[in-house]
Structure formats: C-alpha cells, structure tokens
Amino acid sequence: MNPSDITQDLAAFIEASPTPFHATENLRNRLLEAGFEQLDERENWVLKAEGRYLVTRNDSSLIAFCLGSEGALQHGLRLVGAHTDSPCLRVKPQPELVQQGLWQLGVEIYGGALLAPWFDRDLSLAGRVTFRSLEGRLDSRLVNFKRPIAVIPSLAIHLNRGVNDGQKINPQTDMPPVLAMATEPQPDLRALLAQQLASEYPEVRIERVLDFELSFYDTQPPAVIGLHGDFLTSARLDNLLSCHAGLLALLKAGSQPAMLVCTDHEEVGSSSHCGADGPFLEDVLLRLLPDPIERARVIQRSLMISADNAHAVHPNFADRHDGNHGPQLNGGPVIKINSNQRYATNSETAALFRHLCDQAEVPVQSFVVRSDMGCGSTIGPITASRVGIRTVDIGVPTFGMHSIRELAGARDAAYLVAVLERFFNSEIVI
C-alpha cells in the first residue's frame, strides 16, 4: 500500500470499529481473510512450522502470530503490542432516565476522557449484547446502531455566562445523552436492543436481553483535512491507529516468528483477564513454549514494540513540552522515554528502534515529559514486568489525545507501518 492508501484503510478500519469488540472482530476478519487459522483456548492446539494463527479473549482482545520457519522460534519472537479500547461513555446497567419529558441514558466515564468535546455531537451506540434465545440458549452478539440516535446538548451561554472562564463538568449530572421524547409506555433500552439485534441478525430468535456492554460514539467519520491534506482527524486514533499498523505489518511477516498483541482495558489500567496486566499473553506463550527453561531462553531473545500514541507539540501550548523533546506531526514515530519506568524503553531497545527506522528510511523522534509534569504510561512496562521481555515504547504523535476527535499527521501511519514491517522481517539479531 502507498501512504495514501494506508491512511484511507486506517480511516475505514476506525469507522467500522466503534468499540473494542468491533475492533477485535475486524482484526479477526482481516486475518482470517489472509489465511490465519483461529484457535480456541478451550481446545488443544496443534501448531505447525510456518503456521499463522489467531486467538481472541472476551471478544475484545486478540493475539495473532506467525511461527516462521522450522526452529525459528528458538531465536526469539518479535512482538508488537497495542490496545483496542479508547476513553468513552459507557451505558450503566439500569440507565433509563426520564427528565423534563425527555428520555436519557445514564453513563459512566470509561478511562481518562476529555469530556467537553462530547457535547453537541451526533452520537450513536454500539457494543456487545448477551441474551437468551427462544431455544433457551445464552448467546452474545455485537450491535451497532450506526445512525445518530443521541446528543448531549450544551447549556446556552445565556444561562451560564462564566462557561468560557472555565467550567467543571459533572459526569453524573451533565453527561447523560438525550435519545428521544419520553412517551408512554416508558422507553426500555432492553426492548430497543432486542429490536436492533433482530434487524442485524434476523436468523436469531430472542426471548430476553439479559445484559450488555454499550458505548456511545461520534458518528462523524474520519477525514483527511488541512489545506494540503496534511492531517487525519478521527475518533479512537488512540490506539486503533497502532492496532491497524500492527495488523498490516503482520500480514507482511515472513520467516521470522512475529506476534501482534491487541489487548483491552489499557485506558483503565489493563488489570483484567483480557488486559495486558492479565495472563492472556503469558497463556499463549505457554502454549507455544511449554518447557519453562526453553520459554525463558526464547523470551530473553525476544523484543516487544509497545505502540501507543504520543503527544505532538501543540503550537498553542508549546510550553507543555520539554524544549528539546517536542515531536512534530508527520515527523515519524516517537520513542517514549521515562526514567521512572512509566515507559519501558531503555538505551538498547531505543537504539534498535532507531536502527530499524534507518533501515526503513523512516524519520524518528523522541519524547520525554517535562520534569515538572506527571507522565502517562502504556502496556509496555506492564508487559515487560509480567513477561520479562525487553520492550521499547513508541507511538505516532497526535493532538487531542483522549478527545472524542483526535488529530494525527496524514503520513505518520504509513511511517509506522513501514518500520513495523521492517521489525518483523529484518535479519538483525535482536
């Protein structure tokens, strides 16, 4: 793919992935179309040299791998890690609200979301629904309303004169979206979900919707913008951009053993059975390398690139960056460094990534947070400490991280794909 095609493919992938469940399904489908075989954690695995496999957990996390040529795994594994989740508004279990003649749904804030940009957006609803069929079986399916069905209206400035001087947003009272005029009988979300399931899956006969995990999302599609098309603006660039880049790179993997790890719940700490701080990756490595001594040797010959978006230097807030470490949009991937191990990068893993960028003819940048500011983190330190694998934290520079609408350089996705392809296929000893 040329850079423009990669950007357009990324945009289509993000638009089709409003939740971690949909992102995982789309990753899975792309891999199956490319000839990967899906494994079931509940069954025995029969793995073959040069085999290409994938496994999912909770419908929201995925690990895919290419075993490479016979005996190649003994020389180490090359891993790319990313996460499928993004900050959003999650629907509460009993969300129905009727206020001032309007039907609303109560929401919980998932992750460290920038809340102000959620106001006055055309919102839709998507996620996973679990139900009992008329045959008495429990089943789960993904739903996506796609069309705008909700909005969180701003309060007019006439009623809130000080809003532009700074306004605290109360997530309990200010954020419930409006879906409809309240009518009799009162609206029922589970009945609405049953109707949506019937429209998306006409073959399924539903007796009762039992539970759900639903997220609101912005229906505005991704777009390449700017006078010269320099920028990509979209929801969920953090971190579906990295998932997509890892996918494209894995599809080009050759004789070297390669693995893509896309896990859920990074935005809330990764502590779940399908998060990076859970046993998912370790369980898969145990299947690949049952002998503990052999597994330890292979891990010490392996390397992970933890790919998660970085902060580009904002022209209106340049003082929020260290003066020597202000990544630029369209300046290539960013090596993220923190002495307090908020990032897992060290001098050796950073040098290897720089070398790969040189080989791929990709520009590379560095980020260190200001010494008087706190530093975020990624799945990199979590994976490094749980598995014992050398790791480098990198990411594409962006503006508006954790907003409902983020901004990246239109060329940076292609840069990231190029260096990850080089990583999976380079002959360098890692």
What does the pLDDT look like over 91-136, one tens digit per residue?
Answer: 999 999 999 999 999 999 999 999 999 999 999 999 999 999 999 9
pLDDT digits (tens, 9 = 90+) for 49-89: 999 999 999 999 999 999 988 888 999 999 999 999 999 99
Instruction: Take residue 427 and report the two structure tokens written for it.
Output: 């002959």
How many Cβ atoms from other residues are within 10 Å of residue 428's Cβ? 11
Q: In whole angstroms, how large is the CA radius of gyration of the chain?
A: 22
β-sheet bridge partners, residue 102: 99, 181
pLDDT one-digit tens code per residue, 203-240: 999 999 999 999 999 999 999 999 999 999 999 999 99
pLDDT, tens digit (0-9, with 9 covering 90-100), for 282-294 = 999 999 999 999 9
User: Mean pLDDT, the chain, as a whole number?
Assistant: 95
pLDDT at 203: 93
**What pLDDT, on a 0 to 100 scale, did the predictor assign at position 311?**
96
What long-range pairs does 280-287 form, CB within 8 A, spacing at least 24?
Answer: 280/57, 280/61, 280/63, 281/63, 281/383, 281/386, 281/387, 282/386, 282/387, 283/41, 284/55, 284/63, 284/65, 285/387, 287/45, 287/47
Structural tokens at position 73:
């795994």
Q: Which amino acid is at 270?
A: S
Hey, what amino acid is at 336?
K
Instruction: Please answer whether residues 295 and 71 qualify as being in contact, where contact means their C-beta atoms are separated by less than 8 angstroms.
Output: no
